[in-house]
Amino acid sequence: MSSGETIIRVDGFTAAYNGQVILNRLSFEVHRGEVFVILGGSGCGKSTLLKHMIGLYAPAAGTILIDGHNISTAEGDERQQVLRKFGVMYQSGALFGSMTVLDNVCLPLQEFTNLPLDAIRVIASMKLQRVGLGGFDHHMPSELSGGMQKRAAIARAMALDPQVLFLDEPSAGLDPITSAELDELILSLARSLKITFVIVSHELASIFAIADRVIMLDKSVKGIVATGKPKELREHSDNAWVRQFFSRQASTDNPA
Amino acid sequence: MVTIVNAAKLRSDGPRSGVLKLAIDGRLDADSTGPVWRESTRLVTAARANNVDLDVASMDYCDGSGIALLIQLRRLQQKHGGKLEIHGLRPEFQELLDDWSQGSGETAPKAKVRTQLVEEVGRRAVEVWRDIHELITFVGQLGLALVKAARHPRTIRWRDTVLIAEEVGVNALPIVAMLSFLVGVIMAFQAAVALRQFGAEIFVANMIGLSVLREMGPLMTAIILAGRSGSAFAAEIGTMKVREEIDALKTMGLEPVRFLVVPRVLAALVMTPVLTVFADLLGVMGGSVVMMSLGFPLITFFHQLQLAVSYGSLVGGLVKAFAFGILIAAIGCLRGLQTENGASAVGLSTTHAVVSGIILIVFADGIFTIIYYLLWV
């Protein structure tokens, strides 16, 4: 669980595309060890926010600090150092299609450590085992189901034991059971390995199951409309729309 | 075409004292609405009547296209301030009409905004400028990555490089060999016909030797490479881009240029001259076969060939091939990295890779020709 110490600090962050502001002056913090969910409807800019947080795009204004390093301005060795602090699971998994699952997990270890090859294989195989893909080492990504590809992508993201894992829509395209299994994996990794999770999602069932804290983005204000624990937002948010959003969805998801 | 049972029919009467009477009978569905649509909209537009009375009491069936016609007729009437009255519409169709009329149903779909010629030209100019800008940036990145690779050869992904070299080089050999041989045969025949008139058929050897070694060998190889490998590079890298694999590389701290482009450029850079040697050899062999069929012994052909060509011609051709290899691989990879999102984007990148590859080859060839001319003559 969260230690209250800040690991990611987003301050006055503004994102623009083709001169049009998508997100305006966002500020929030992610605490070490928590499962932090960025939530919002389609087109509210949550994936855009994630892509800025992992350094793929530079913000139009503001700063994003990961463990004290500015991800968008870091260069050379500092950049490598920041990139080592986190792993990313992309929506589609983004496993390298020309390599086996094991080679995918081995790749970061081969590139950034001087471990002997047999050690790398053992470590990679261990990570695959941890996400429930033991025995699939020599499969090609295309031979795995959608849920397994996402697990493999998590294993690859964990290859170098990062402090933070960013997950882009983990439940997208998965059936509810597979999605729930993935949620369990996320929770168990957060608890046992003390990994901080930053997850982009709009699946309320999954959010209630895993999130310690959420921020909710909205297109109309181009920013955050609510911050807090999902259950508290459902009961006590000042914003009626937010309460409605959480409770309506929650009641249709859990008719009990 | 399906035969339409009980197709909709339009009857009209008027306009008389500002009232146009229309009646539609039968089934008004997607198969039969077409003729009724054309006829009724024409009548209503032409009449500009204050009132259109539409009798649909004997209309048995009506689907979305029929409802669309009713909405369109009402819209046409509203345009000049007239009214449309529908009589005898069955309740179930009335429900459909009310349902579809909601929201934007009453306003005609807006025509697509047309871009002006000047705007279009400007947009294209900006695109070309951006492309040149990206090309320069890419050349810089690639140059830097190649220098780094030369300094630290252990950072090069040799396994990938060898696999790509096999695909680019070894697997292209049959097609390069066959086409070069055929081009050699064809050029020799064409030249022989012309030179025979002067009894100078022996000079076919000179022509074949010079043109194959200096021009056709490297050029044929490069064009085949652009079609085979340049396009493959763009498609591979483009697909990786669409599948977020390039993003994954970046967030892992692996530069796509070092990781994907350097092995491909190295493979092409080594294999193009090697393929060109084969192309030269097969092209000359094609010429020799023609000369033998014209009655010249092989030894005479090769003697004449040795008199005509120097090592300079061979080396000049190979230097060109070397440059073509870099250009094709680099532009193929760049087009791949420039791929945007969507299913058609990869196809577009592939096409661009081949077209830009061939344009670059021809430009580079022109520059080499000028340089060689200044150096040798």
Q: Which of A231-235, B8-12, B239-243, B296-300 has the lowest mean pLDDT?
A: B8-12
> Can you tell me the mean pLDDT for B17-26?
83
Structural domain contains residue B219 = yes
Do the chains contact at A91 and B251, CB–CB below 8 Å? no
Do the chains contact at B245 and A95, CB–CB below 8 Å? yes
- Out of B243, B251, B254, the one facing A88 most closely (by C-beta) is B251
State whether B168 and B286 are in the same domain. Answer: yes
| Residue A11: closest CA among A85, A57, A56, A68 | A68
pLDDT at B109 over 70: no
pLDDT at B129 over 90: yes
> Can you tell me the mean pLDDT for A15-27?
87
Q: Suggest the residue from A50, A83, A142 to mutate for an interface test with chain B (most B CBs closer than 10 A).
A: A83
State whether B143 and B28 are in the same domain. Answer: no
Number of Cβ within 10 Å of residue B116's Cβ equals 8
Q: How are beta strands A20-31 and A6-17 bridged, if at all?
A: antiparallel
By percentage, how much of chain B surpasses pLDDT 70? 96
Beta carbons of B230 and B353 less than 8 angstroms apart: yes
CA distance A54 to chain B (A): 7
Task: Mark which of B54, B81, B103 sits at the end of a domain.
Answer: B103
Structural domain boundaries enclosing B366: 137-376
> Can you tell me the mean pLDDT for B262-273?
95
CA distance B76 to B282: 73
Structural domain contains residue B366 = yes
Radius of gyration over every alpha carbon of chain A, rounded to an integer in angstroms: 18
State whether B241 and B359 are in the same domain. Answer: yes
Task: Mark which of B82, B103, B124 sits at the end of a domain.
Answer: B103
State whether B328 and B199 are in the same domain. Answer: yes
State whether B92 and B199 are in the same domain. Answer: no
Residues of B in contact with A86 (CB under 8 A): 251
State whether B224 and B75 are in the same domain. Answer: no
Structural domain contains residue B66 = yes
- Residue B103 has what pLDDT? 61
- Residue B108 has what pLDDT? 60
Structural domain contains residue B129 = no
Q: What own/partner pairs with CB < 8 Å and gap ≥ 24 does B66-69 have?
A: B66/B8, B66/B28, B66/B29, B66/B33, B66/B93, B67/B93, B67/B96, B67/B97, B67/B100, B68/B33, B68/B100, B69/B28, B69/B33, B69/B36, B69/B37, B69/B40
CA distance B252 to B269: 28
pLDDT-based confidence at residue A138 (cuts at 50, 70, 90)? very high
Alpha carbon separation from A101 to A129, A153, A179 (Å, rounded): 12, 9, 21
Structural domain contains residue B114 = no
- Out of A87, A95, A111, the one facing B254 most closely (by C-beta) is A111
CA distance B232 to B164: 11
Beta strands in chain B (DSSP E): 9-16, 19-28, 51-55, 59-62, 83-87
Those residues whose C-beta lies under 8 Å from the C-beta of residue B92, and which sit 6 or more positions away, are: none
Residues of B in contact with A51 (CB under 8 A): 247
State whether B346 and B229 are in the same domain. Answer: yes
State whether B169 and B220 are in the same domain. Answer: yes
pLDDT at B64 over 50: yes
- Out of A84, A94, A111, the one facing B244 most closely (by C-beta) is A94
Residue A115 backbone zone (phi > 0: left; psi -120 to 50: alpha; other: beta): beta
| Residue B248: closest CA among A131, A30, A97, A13 | A97
Residue A228 backbone zone (phi > 0: left; psi -120 to 50: alpha; other: beta): left
CATH number at residue B83: 3.30.750.24
Do the chains contact at B243 and A92, CB–CB below 8 Å? yes
Structural domain contains residue B120 = no
- Residue A157 has what pLDDT? 93
Alpha carbon separation from A175 to A88, A145, A147, B205 (Å, rounded): 22, 11, 9, 71
- Taking CA–CA distances from A77, the nearest residue in chain B reads B253
pLDDT-based confidence at residue A2 (cuts at 50, 70, 90)? low
pLDDT at B245 over 70: yes
Q: Which of A87-101, A204-218, A242-256 has the lowest mean pLDDT?
A: A242-256
Structural domain contains residue B111 = no
Residues of A in contact with B253 (CB under 8 A): 79-80, 83-84, 111-112
Residues of A in contact with B251 (CB under 8 A): 54-56, 83, 86-88
State whether B315 and B240 are in the same domain. Answer: yes
Structural domain contains residue B117 = no
> Can you tell me the mean pLDDT for A90-117?
91
| Domains contained in chain B, number | 2
pLDDT at B338 over 50: yes
| Residue A139: closest CA among A94, A93, A99 | A99
**Assembly ipTM:** 0.87
State whether B260 and B170 are in the same domain. Answer: yes
Two tokens, residue B314? 């061979």
Do the chains contact at B247 and A91, CB–CB below 8 Å? no
- Residue A256 has what pLDDT? 34
By percentage, how much of chain B surpasses pLDDT 90? 59
State whether B160 and B274 are in the same domain. Answer: yes
CA distance B352 to chain A (A): 24
As a dihedral over the C-alpha atoms of residue A237, residue A242, residue A248, residue A253, rounded to 10 degrees, the angle is: -90
Task: Mark which of B58, B79, B103 sits at the end of a domain.
Answer: B103
Residues of A in contact with B243 (CB under 8 A): 92, 94, 97
CA distance A8 to A28: 8
Beta carbons of B45 and B52 less than 8 angstroms apart: no
Residues of A in contact with B254 (CB under 8 A): 107, 111
For B148-186, the pLDDT digits (tens) are 999 999 888 899 999 999 999 999 999 999 999 999 999
- Taking CA–CA distances from B156, the nearest residue in chain A reads A111
- Residue A255 has what pLDDT? 38
State whether B88 and B203 are in the same domain. Answer: no
Q: Suggest the residue from B126, B233, B236, B244 to mutate for an interface test with chain A (most A CBs closer than 10 A).
A: B244
- Out of A83, A107, A112, the one facing B251 most closely (by C-beta) is A83
Q: Which of B35-39, B108-112, B223-227 has the lowest mean pLDDT?
A: B108-112
- Taking CA–CA distances from A51, the nearest residue in chain B reads B247
